[in-house]
Structure 1
Amino acid sequence: MRTQVAIIGAGPAGLTLGRLLERAGIDAIIIEQRSADYVLGRIRAGVLEQSSVDLLRDLGVNARMDAEGIPHDGVELSFDGDMLRINFHELVGRRVMVYGQTEVTHDLMEARAASGARSIYEASDVAIHDFDGERPRVSFKKDGQHHEIECDFVAGCDGFHGVSRASVPADAISIFERVYPFGWLGILVDQRPVAEELIYAHHARGFALCSMRSHTRSRYYIQVDSSEKVENWSDDRFWDELRNRINPEIAERLQTGASIEKSIAPLRSFVAEPVRFGRLFLTGDAAHIVPPTGAKGLNMAIHDVSVLAGALEEFYAERSQAGIEAYSPTVLENTWRTERFSWWMTQLLHTFPDSGDFGRRIQRADFDYLRASRIARQSLAENYTGFRV
């Protein structure tokens, strides 16, 4: 087989890139290790920045998003029950859209299938070859048969544990990482959300988040130690702990019920540098991970593939290498800016085992500064809704 761009991974990064390249008339094949049903079955949250919403509309995959997504003009912060609303629309003239990553994937997958663009699912033993030259190849097995794709470029959109970053020689890449001593225990429930907007809560007992998937399905999280096990948490124990950490008036409105999904997500900050190796490009979780506190993971992936698509379009239209050469520094500039914001939100809202009373007073001072300063709130709003140079 032959294509111009081989895309490893059929998550939202790979599918968005495929759609962008298709629109530009660039041939691409997506190779995915899992089945399409498995990809669609992964439960993922989703808060879309304004730029991500605009791009999905531009790509023509917005019908369900516009019908079912929930626009938010702000978020609520809470510190030991004291509330502060950050009004995005008033502060920076932008908003965000609550629309699950799973739904974005569904919409992109459906559009790709309708267009007839090539996707290969359940490909095993995927390997990337010769990406340091001009004729990279991707090999894999499908239905017991060996296959190989010749291409001009390879886009690694296959996540943190994928083959793309693992294919890079260790001495050619630098890794920056912080693993946090806690995770998020999340519960999904078919009940109306407790509030119209997300509530991020700091409490001495730990962080909590009141979120949603729709007007009738809610998602709640609490901070737990990294050693915790899901089986230790009954639904009743979870609801009791959540009530302890949020504003009492909000806790009174909380509609509980039997969980339909419960899991613990570890938190880490991770950056790989560079993100281009010859004709191999890393995007999304293959290149970086952020704590979910700032709702940035999906948006960073969409930004990466937008930059990459522009660089590849420039290469094929003008035979220019400028965008390809600029890919890594452009992506890394946005990556570190977004990593800083996600780290800051995590520092503000979580309890840390070694911070002590002094650390909590500093967190309180940070919260009080946000209450007192429009500029501070504006900075938070600018970053949360998607700051771009």
Structure 2
Amino acid sequence: MTKIFKSVYFNVRTSSRERMWDTARHASRVCTPILPAVKQQTSLARSASYKTARFSIMVKLKQFVRLFPLINHQAVPGAETADLLYMWGAFPKMTNQPFVIELDNPFVLSYYSQRFFNWRLLAIKRKLRRANYITYLSETARNHTLELIGPEFAEKSKVLPPFMDKNYLYNKRPGDGIVRFLFVGLGFRRKGGPELLKAFAALPNENAQLTIVAPVPEEVKSAYAYDKRIIFLPPQPREVLFTKLYPESDIFVFPSILETLGVVILEALSFGMGIITTDSYATPEMVKNDVNGRLLSHPFLKKTLLNGVPTIDCVTIPRDEFTAKYQQDEHFYETLSSDTLTAMTEAMNQTKVWQDASIELFDRRFSPDLWEQKLVEILSPVSTDA
């Protein structure tokens, strides 16, 4: 595709997630990206920073900020020459430059405070009217936001999922008759790790193997030490995930209790893996039940309508309340575990069918070419031919 010679400032931060940096880098296909003078922090480094005193201070500061009905604004240093600003979850501060704003969910605009989002809704809508486009990681996030801000924003609301390459071209599965299940998640409890372990331990197949890539408590590892089919690994760099773990695995199993998109699910899809995950917010966009995997029933949330679409809304429930009520170590979801066992049993016989369907779904909805076309559309109002 012909390069669009327009400069776009991508407001990444040191702590921005990999998907944001990926967008900024791969945007060079269609524009000239301008980035702030910051270095990327890996997900592992970001996770480690959560244990520092500095992070504790930042948490307290954010808690203080959330006492006030503020709208999220961010400075854009070095953006003076840009033709367009691409913002993540915040309005640009002290500039009249045209901008695109990406939302992972609507409440990011009020620092994830739903109460203040409702209080400041009129002001938020005034600011959104200035945006060239509002982009979303998923159709579900788009539906959710339009449910709250109204249909007047439908035309400028576009879905731009995270960039993902055709990673299935680089698979190197051993082909030794072993069905390799993979779980990747920094939040072992919230991602359904305990339910998964109990389910897999009950799977009778000797030719099944489960690799858990997560910070698993030592007492949990000890409890399952008898099952030699289970491999525990600490969190791994993205390079290891992409060059070894994903390419060598067959089925991605991720019975997460709270998930809005699940970039790891999209990563697994890009490798053509069959997928077992919970029906939660946008996960049905990547997993079609009994086609390329299995969608597990959510253990406690029921579907509600978001812009007319039945959806498991795990966003509206306040995170603090969710953590206190549903993530306690002693709370175990038997139905989620038994459903996971049923799905893994099915996966043993449907592995190749699910894998082929994942490749077809990825190419149809998430391929690099489609991503590029969507980005061109988003940038086109302020782009000119070279």
| TM-score above 0.5 | no
TM-score where L is the length of structure 2: 0.32
TM-score where L is the length of structure 1: 0.32
Q: Which structure has more RCO (C-alpha within 8 Å, separation ≥ 6)?
A: 1
